[in-house]
Structure 1
Amino acid sequence: MRTRSRTAMFAATAVLLLCGAAASAAQPMAAAPAVAKPQKTLKILTPEQVDPARLLPPPPEDGSSIQKADLAEVQRVYRTRTPERYERAKWDDTHEDSMLFASTLGPNFDLAKLPQTAKLLAVIENDQSVAANMAKRQFLRNRPWAIDPSIVACDYKPNAAPKTSYPSGHATLSYSVGIVLADLIPEKSQAILARAAEYAYSREVCGAHYASDTEASHVLGTVVALQFLSSPKAAPMIEAARHELRVARLTGANTVATAAMR
């Protein structure tokens, strides 16, 4: 089986409608509008380090021969998936965080008991999400289901934005976090990276993304991870997490040996 490689809005100002006492008695109070979530910003990396125009080629244009071949492959994977693989893809769809590696790393990988590791991974999750959304806005590629309405993606919603295909946010997460975890826990690096690729492939099984979307995520996620691992700003968090993982017996690698590999 081939294994390859969402967006916050600007915070809105809520307006509370004030009614006079007499009007309040005669009419029900108008509900205040919901406040949008604050927009995420990069915490460690810089916009230049994750500039999608510099890192990624544009996706195939709709209607091109390459795009048609890309779509045909999504259709093939979508229509020939087994019930078991579809269930795994649905699980992956609804678990978009670092705990996607829990089954690979075992019961000791409990972020509730690993605060330093949880802190580190939360920052990686943030920066990769910002990077992926920068790329989505740059390229505005239609999702497979926007081209072929017979495809109903795992995460499809009637009001979903169609031009959010390239790259995959889920896959960017799995590759960026996976590469960092592989560096922190080198004994399980191959299993971690295999899980990252399997999780990315679930986006194709779901009919949510093209293979070229997950390939772009592999590139972007790798850049995010390597830039993060080499960042002086991230170094204290990385070493704290590395120590914590050794204490939890999730790795026996020492700091000097692992750092020498980079």
Structure 2
Amino acid sequence: MIARYLVPAAFAVSIAMSCVQAQTLPPAEAAVAKAEPSLLDPAEFAPARTFAPPPPHNSRLEALELQQVKALRAAASPERLAQAERDGDTENPTAFDQATGRDLARLPATYALLTRIQRETNNVVSAGKDYFRRLRPYGVDPQMAHCGKGKVADRSYPSGHGGMAWSVGWALARLMPDRAPAIIARAQDYALSREICGVHFQSDLEASHGVAVVIADRLLADPRLADQVAAARRELARP
């Protein structure tokens, strides 16, 4: 494993200021997302202020990251490769059903809150993708096998799936502290699936990790969502 590339700048932005979309949504959810005004200030989360630049194309660091992606994919068992495929198809909070011990789609207040947090995160991540236009691993090496779940070859940085995993996972860990270790482990493993799939570099995932945690914490504390947060806590507290 190579060393972590960066501590995402989103942490620094959050401290300084206050101390997708990567996913294709179903029509009904897309209509809701379009109707909802963003709770985040786009200027505060502008890509140049939120994310450190990814490793330059054809750089030594890009080559090291590509080597890691290939090694992870080569070492993965058929079962882990199949899981990575499934994870790529599950870009929504139900990816955490097992970790939470809940059928999250059947908890209306919780699911609405989590998908709102995911959409807000995706807005920021999608702006970063448009800004950086980083090639995915299989864009750097067209001969590399991959899952086919990276929709566009030059939208690698940051990761939309990673943004979902860490925004939803972090929110759930805050809402269900007794389940936090399993939830965080699931977020980490889900993010790893994107490397095993060959559609993201490690620094893509780290960038999403940083900003998603900041956004989840920000929104859980937002008074405009206080009633939703309280309702979600009540749902999740039930056996």
Structure 2 length-normalised TM:
0.83
User: Alignment partner for residue 103 of structure 2, among 95, 98, 110?
Assistant: 110
User: Partners in 1 of 2:234 and 2:82 — Cα distance?
Assistant: 36
**Alignment correspondent of 1:95:** 90
Q: 2:168 matched to 1:177?
A: yes
**Alignment correspondent of 2:133:** 140
State whether residues 172 and 217 of structure 1, in contact with CA within 8 Å, keep that contact through their aligned partners in structure 2.
yes
User: Partners in 1 of 2:233 and 2:131 — Cα distance?
Assistant: 35
State whether residues 50 and 224 of structure 1, in contact with CA within 8 Å, keep that contact through their aligned partners in structure 2.
no
State whether residues 49 and 227 of structure 1, in contact with CA within 8 Å, keep that contact through their aligned partners in structure 2.
no
Residue identity opposite 1:136 in structure 2: K
**Distance of aligned partners of 1:238 and 1:126 in 2 relative to their CA distance in 1, 3 Å threshold:** same
User: Partners in 2 of 1:49 and 1:198 — Cα distance?
Assistant: 30
State whether residues 92 and 202 of structure 1, in contact with CA within 8 Å, keep that contact through their aligned partners in structure 2.
yes
**Alignment correspondent of 1:43:** 38
**Alignment correspondent of 2:25:** none
State whether residues 93 and 104 of structure 2, in contact with CA within 8 Å, keep that contact through their aligned partners in structure 1.
no
Q: Give the C-alpha shift of residue 216 in structure 1.
A: 0.7
Q: Equivalent residue of 2:223, what SS? A: coil
Mark the structure with the bigger radius of gyration: 1
Gaps of 5+ in 1: 9-36, 250-262
Q: 2:77 matched to 1:82?
A: yes
**Alignment correspondent of 1:128:** 121
Superposed, which structure 2 residues align to 1:4-23 within 5 Å?
A: 6-7=20-21
**Alignment correspondent of 2:213:** 222
User: Partners in 2 of 1:77 and 1:49 — Cα distance?
Assistant: 35
Deviations 1:70-124 (A, max 9, x none): 1111111122221111111111010110000011122xx1234311111111211
Residue identity opposite 2:127 in structure 1: M
More helix, by proportion: 2
Spell out structure 1 runs of 4+ moving beyond 6 A.
Answer: none
Structure 1 length-normalised TM:
0.76
**Alignment correspondent of 1:61:** 56
Deviations 1:27-74 (A, max 9, x none): xxxxxxxxxx77857532221343221121000111111111111111
Alignment size in residue pairs = 215
Question: How much is the aligned-residue C-alpha RMSD, in angstroms?
Answer: 2.3
Residue identity opposite 1:130 in structure 2: N
Residue identity opposite 1:151 in structure 2: M
Q: Percent same amino acid at aligned positions?
A: 38
**Distance of aligned partners of 1:90 and 1:233 in 2 relative to their CA distance in 1, 3 Å threshold:** same
Residue identity opposite 2:83 in structure 1: R
**Distance of aligned partners of 1:7 and 1:125 in 2 relative to their CA distance in 1, 3 Å threshold:** closer
Gaps of 5+ in 2: 9-19, 23-29
Q: 2:206 matched to 1:211?
A: no
Deviations 1:131-158 (A, max 9, x none): 110111111100110111122321357x
